[in-house]
Amino acid sequence: MRALVLKEYKKLVCEQIPTPDCGEGEVLIRLKCCAVCGSDVHGYDGSTGRRIPPIVMGHEASGVIEKVGAKVKNYKPGDRVTFDSTVYCNECEMCKAGRVNLCRNRRVLGVSCDEYRRDGAFAEYIAVPEYILYRLPDNVTFRQAAMVEPLSIAYHGVTRAEIRPGATVAVVGVGTIGMMALQLAKSMGAATVIAVDIDEKRLEMALQNGATHAVNSREADALERLRALTPGGEGVDVAVDATGIQATADLCVNAAVLGGQVVFVGNLAARIEIPLQVVVTRELSLFGSCASAGEYDKCLALIAGGQVDVDALISAAVPLEEGAEWIERVYRREPGLYKIVLTME
């Protein structure tokens, strides 16, 4: 089969590799689309330490079942599917509690690190366990389904807090996850959704995708401007940090209303300081959010029902053979690029 292989850091080659075998409890999927995740871009240059070459990256994908293993019960060849990016064990206490994103033995597709190596979906075929599969609604395209994995991360993040009808929400950092988070907040009934970023183009796009207001955090008075958009200037009910650096964490904590909630989804910085007195005296609730925990069906329903527009976030859909060129363009931070989807047809 054809696959886009990271042969060495900053060197991707489209070449023929063996088609994976299908185990008894697995399905073999003929892939149609795979979106490029930011973690793949960071893996491209080795900065994550979790894409050790050679490896086939990619984990945001969709396709058609080609073959099923002998113990597969609920799927058949021809079914249109997507799948979780994480293969969890189903045995540890976290899995048994339904918190599969915290599985102690989790393995992410397209990751190669010291602990394990698992090829991903920048390829024509992939074999995955039946239990991480999700059927596609008839009106959801393969391209849209390749966006469900990042949407599920945004969904898991915003639902860590409680967004009530009429709420005021700020999303700080409107990359792909942030852009999805603001659409989700709007779909959950938030009356005011404030997009915050340093990039004016992204802020313009956020306004086109559900944000009611936009604030450029490069401005010295960004916090004051943000709070002025909230009822009585008291602050936001929920602040979502989709970046994860000191400046965005400070902004989120200081923008929250008394008794407000702050969700940390982004984690670009390994360590930050928290303004503890603000958290304590304003009695804020802080939530960490890791990956997703089986919310794919809910996200597919949101796409199918039109509450979330993932097509608006796709900058280009290109053949697998052109993947190296386009990932390099994303890596160079070419302006205007959001999600790139690789197609295998």
All structural domains of the chain, each given as residue ranges with its CATH number in brackets, are: 2-151+293-343 (3.90.180.10), 161-288 (3.40.50.720)
* Averaged pLDDT for residues 245-249: 96
pLDDT of residue 114: 87
pLDDT of residue 97: 95
pLDDT of residue 338: 85
pLDDT of residue 335: 84
Percent of the chain residues past pLDDT 90, beyond the cut: 93
Tell me what the pLDDT averaged over the chain comes to.
96
Structure-block tokens of residue 168? 């005021």
pLDDT exceeds 90 at position 24: yes
* Averaged pLDDT for residues 123-128: 98
> Which one, of 164, 157, 87, 155, lies nearest residue 298 by Cα?
155
Structure-block tokens of residue 196? 């915050």
Confidence band, pLDDT 50/70/90 cuts, at residue 47: confident
- Alpha-carbon separation of residue 193 from 171, 176, 181, 226, 323 (angstroms): 7, 16, 10, 11, 34
Confidence band, pLDDT 50/70/90 cuts, at residue 179: very high
Confidence band, pLDDT 50/70/90 cuts, at residue 337: confident
- Produce one character per residue of 243-269: b if its CB has 16 or more CB atoms within 10 Å, e if not: bbbeebbbbbbbbbbeebbbbbbbeee
pLDDT of residue 259: 98
pLDDT of residue 105: 95
* Averaged pLDDT for residues 46-72: 95
Model confidence over 91-120: pLDDT tens digits?
Answer: 999 999 999 999 999 999 999 998 899 999
* Averaged pLDDT for residues 247-251: 97
Angle between helices 148-158 and 296-304 (to 10 degrees): 110
pLDDT of residue 5: 98
**Strand bridging mode 314-319 / 339-343:** parallel
pLDDT of residue 100: 95
pLDDT of residue 303: 97
pLDDT exceeds 90 at position 48: no
CA distance 150 to 147: 6
Model confidence over 200-231: pLDDT tens digits?
Answer: 999 999 999 999 999 999 999 999 999 999 99
* Averaged pLDDT for residues 154-175: 97
Model confidence over 270-322: pLDDT tens digits?
Answer: 899 999 999 999 999 999 999 999 999 999 999 999 999 999 999 999 999 99
pLDDT exceeds 90 at position 345: no
DSSP H or E segment with residue 260: strand 256-264
